[in-house]
Structure formats: structure tokens, C-alpha cells
């Protein structure tokens, strides 16, 4: 990384910019590489802004990206441009607490792009980062969005890159926990990410042979979990694998919160696995162990699926800028890669439908969702795309 100086010189090539914002996810470097390769062949020079949107502000931080400094990054995790989910551009806390971007910041962004002769900006991020991109577009800045989140909770696209890699990581963890759980006859609990949506828990739970899957979209009870454990005991299965999303609410309706920022902001979830283990041990006198996968889900290289998806997103983003179709987000709608309005994409979260095919498949396999299957649901007619938020609660992490 180096601090680029704003230059005023005649250039032969047109310029586009790219930045990666929000939490990191496997596949970010694949997007950067895809943008550079396709844009270069189309006659563009690519500027990569460092540390997300912060790199657009003085002192401006950027790199000229080319074949040499993006060679070999396809399989690398993280992002060579750096990213941040803090700073002056924080724009969203869940679905119901969106805020604007200060006018002076928008003016600084315009000034930076003008002085660098950048005619279009590709913003790679999740719902918060793409909300910032929408604010830039509303201010007259030419932007295109690329969806990125391991939670897979962005609407308008079936999958976001990073999700498949996170599921692969969680599935591998379950595979490993299966053998130690069976050896010791234990209840093993795997806590995975999933703030508003349970996609990672659900997919990994099915792929990794989980026995209980707890997600934010389905209300569960301790009784439902204990019934599953005792039922397995009666079948001679003396161990149980439980997968729980960090955003799954307790039966009382609260979230387990690890940290509440003193000056406001997005609360840090975490600890539901330990709360669950303590209650199971109390009720059934069973030995429980908890593994919190945490940032391991976001680290490491992307799967082959995420590499392909990220590369396709990159190519289509460059094409949108070339066609001057601004204010759009790339979307995967099998078998096509399309684009949708950024405004529509960030308007609601994509959540698991309690009556959808994945949940029905899990139930058919005998997997418990911790509930009464007849009365399960989130109360909405279609939970695939409904507003999501987290209420501020003070539930300490069980130590």
C-alpha cells in the first residue's frame, strides 16, 4: 500500500475505481483481479482505493492496479486493498436504523474522483457498504455495487460470494466435531455467524450432518432441543451435534450480546452457544462442549464456486460502468448474472423461509429446528426477504 498523490496529467486510458468495504470475505481478491483483467482488456486503467471508503478522503490512499500487482491473488483470502467496517462512512445498523452520509464527505469523494479522472466507481460490500454506495449515487457519483457477505443476507441475489466459503468452513468444523462427539458421547455445539439470517447455520448443518439447527427465523425452545437429544439416546446415538447462528434469539426473545458499544453503534453478538450448553447440562445432566467458529469463517481462500462467482460479478461490474448504467448492483439469478437497482437491493434483507425447501429438507432428514414443526415460522408470509433488525438488549455472555 502506498499513499498516492493526486496528479494532474494527460492520460491515454480512461479510469475506473474499485474499493472493498465492510467485513472481509473470501473472494474479494478474485473480484479485484477480475475487474483489473477485464477492465484492462477494455482499455481502462484501474485505481484501487485502500481501506474502503476511507481511502477516498484526504489523505487519499490508492494504488494503480495492473496485471503485475494482482497476479496470484485469485486464491487468496482477505483483500489487497484493505477494508474497514468502522470510520466516517458507517451507514447502517440493521434494517431499521439507516442514516445518511455527511454532505462534506460526499463533496470530498466527488473531489477525489474528479482530480483522479475516475469516471466510475465499483463498490464491493454488504448491506451497510452498499447503502453508502447508494448515498454516493444519490449525490450524483457514478457507482456500481458488487454484493459481498458471508451471511448471504442481501436481497435480489440468490448467493453472495463468501457465503459458500463460510459454509465450507463450518461444514469442515462439523465433520471434525462429529468424531470427537461420538468418541466421548457428548453434545457438541457449534456457534456460527448469522446476525439476521440463518443461511450459514442451515446449509452447514445439513451438509455437516447436524442434529439440531437453530436460526434467527424460527422460534425454538429448550424442550424441543432436549427432546431431540433424548430421542437420539433412545436410538443408541449417544452424541448430538447442534449448530446455532449467533443471531438466533433465546426462547425469552432476547439476543445474547457480547458487547454494546458505549457510544452507540452495532452491538456485537456472541455467546449463545455457551448459554445453550449450560441449559442442556442443567436439564439433562449431559456433558456439552462449545466451539465458536468466529472469524475463521471469514478467513482463508475462497472455494471454487466463490472464485467463479466473484469473477463473474467483476466482469459484469466493469460492463455496467462501460455502459454507464450506474446505481446498479450485480445479482446472481441462476443461470444468469443480472443487475438490479441498488436502492431495491438494500431495501430488505434476505432471510431463511421457515417453510422453504432447505428447512423442509432438514425436517425430512430428522433434523430438529428446536421447535414444534406444525407451529413454526416467523409470522411473515414470506421470510426470504423481510426487514431484519436486532433490538438492543443487555444479555451477558455466559462464561
| Span between the terminal Cα atoms of the chain, in Å | 40
Q: Are 384 and 356 in contact (CB under 8 A)?
A: yes
Region for residue 155 given its phi and psi (left: phi exceeds 0; alpha: psi -120 to 50; beta: otherwise) = beta
Facing residues of 118 across strands?
Answer: 15
CA 146 from centroid of its chain's CA atoms: 12
H or E element in which residue 125 lies: strand 118-125
d(CA 142, CA 120): 5
d(CA 354, CA 361): 11
Cell 489487497 belongs to: 80
Fill in the DSSP letter of residue 198. -
Facing residues of 337 across strands?
Answer: 332
Q: Are 328 and 156 in contact (CB under 8 A)?
A: no
Name the packing angle between helices 163-184 and 304-322 (round to 10°). Answer: 160
**Residue 151 falls in the annotated catalytic set:** yes
Q: Which three cell numbers stand for residue 101?
A: 452520509
d(CA 254, CA 251): 7
Catalytic site residue from 24, 127, 151, 211: 151
Cell 452491538 belongs to: 267
Q: Are 292 and 399 in contact (CB under 8 A)?
A: no
Secondary structure (3-state) at 96: coil
d(CA 236, CA 59): 65
Cell 424441543 belongs to: 224
d(CA 201, CA 243): 6
Q: Per residue in 389-398, is it b (16+ CB within 10 Å) or e — as a string?
A: ebeeeebebe
Calculate the dihedral angle through the C-alpha atoms of 160, 162, 164, 166, rounding to the nearest 10 degrees.
-140
Residues designated catalytic = 151
Amino acid at each position: 500500500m502506498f499513499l498516492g498523490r493526486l496528479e494532474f496529467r494527460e492520460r491515454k486510458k480512461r479510469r475506473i475505481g474499485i474499493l472493498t468495504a465492510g467485513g472481509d470475505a473470501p473472494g474479494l481478491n478474485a473480484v479485484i483481479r477480475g475487474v483489473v483483467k477485464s477492465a484492462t482488456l477494455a482499455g481502462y486503467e484501474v485505481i484501487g482505493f485502500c481501506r474502503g471508503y476511507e481511502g477516498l478522503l484526504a489523505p487519499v490512499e490508492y494504488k494503480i492496479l495492473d496485471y503485475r500487482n494482482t497476479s496470484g491473488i485469485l486464491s487468496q483470502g482477505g483483500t489487497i486493498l484493505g477494508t474497514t467496517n468502522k470510520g466516517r462512512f458507517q451507514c447502517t445498523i440493521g434494517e431499521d436504523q439507516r442514516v445518511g452520509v455527511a454532505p462534506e464527505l460526499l463533496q470530498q469523494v466527488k473531489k477525489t474522483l474528479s482530480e483522479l479522472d475516475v469516471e466510475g466507481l465499483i463498490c464491493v460490500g454488504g448491506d451497510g457498504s452498499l447503502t453508502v454506495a447508494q448515498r454516493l449515487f444519490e449525490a450524483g457519483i457514478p457507482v456500481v455495487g458488487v454484493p459481498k457477505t458471508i451471511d448471504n443476507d442481501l436481497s435480489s441475489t440468490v448467493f453472495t460470494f463468501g457465503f459458500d466459503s463460510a459454509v465450507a468452513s463450518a461444514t469442515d468444523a462439523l465433520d471434525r466435531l462429529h468424531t470427537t462427539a461420538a468418541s466421548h458421547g457428548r453434545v457438541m455445539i457449534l456457534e456460527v455467524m448469522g446476525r439476521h439470517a440463518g443461511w450459514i447455520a442451515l446449509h452447514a448443518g445439513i451438509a455437516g450432518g447436524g442434529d439440531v439447527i437453530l436460526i434467527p427465523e424460527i422460534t425454538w425452545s429448550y424442550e424441543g432441543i432436549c427432546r431431540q437429544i433424548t430421542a437420539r439416546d433412545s436410538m443408541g446415538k449417544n452424541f448430538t451435534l447442534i449448530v446455532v447462528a449467533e443471531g438466533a434469539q433465546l426462547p425469552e426473545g432476547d439476543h445474547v450480546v457480547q458487547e454494546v458499544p458505549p457510544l452507540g453503534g452495532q452491538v456485537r453478538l456472541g455467546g449463545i452457544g455457551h448459554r445453550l450448553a449450560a441449559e442442556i447440562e442443567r436439564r439433562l445432566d449431559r456433558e456439552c462442549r462449545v466451539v465458536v467458529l468466529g472469524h475463521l469463517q471469514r478467513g482463508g481462500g475462497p472455494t471454487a464456486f466463490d472464485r467463479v462467482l466473484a469473477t463473474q460479478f467483476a466482469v459484469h461490474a466493469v460492463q455496467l460502468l462501460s455502459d454507464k448504467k450506474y446505481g446498479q448492483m450485480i445479482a446472481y439469478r441462476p443461470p444468469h448474472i443480472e443487475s438490479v437497482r441498488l436502492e431495491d437491493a438494500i431495501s430488505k434483507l434476505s432471510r431463511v423461509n421457515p417453510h422453504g425447501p432447505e428447512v423442509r429438507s432438514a425436517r425430512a432428514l430428522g433434523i430438529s429446528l428446536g421447535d414444534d414443526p406444525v407451529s413454526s415460522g416467523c409470522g411473515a408470509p414470506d421470510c426470504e426477504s423481510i426487514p431484519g433488525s436486532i433490538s438492543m438488549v443487555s444479555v451477558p455472555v455466559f462464561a
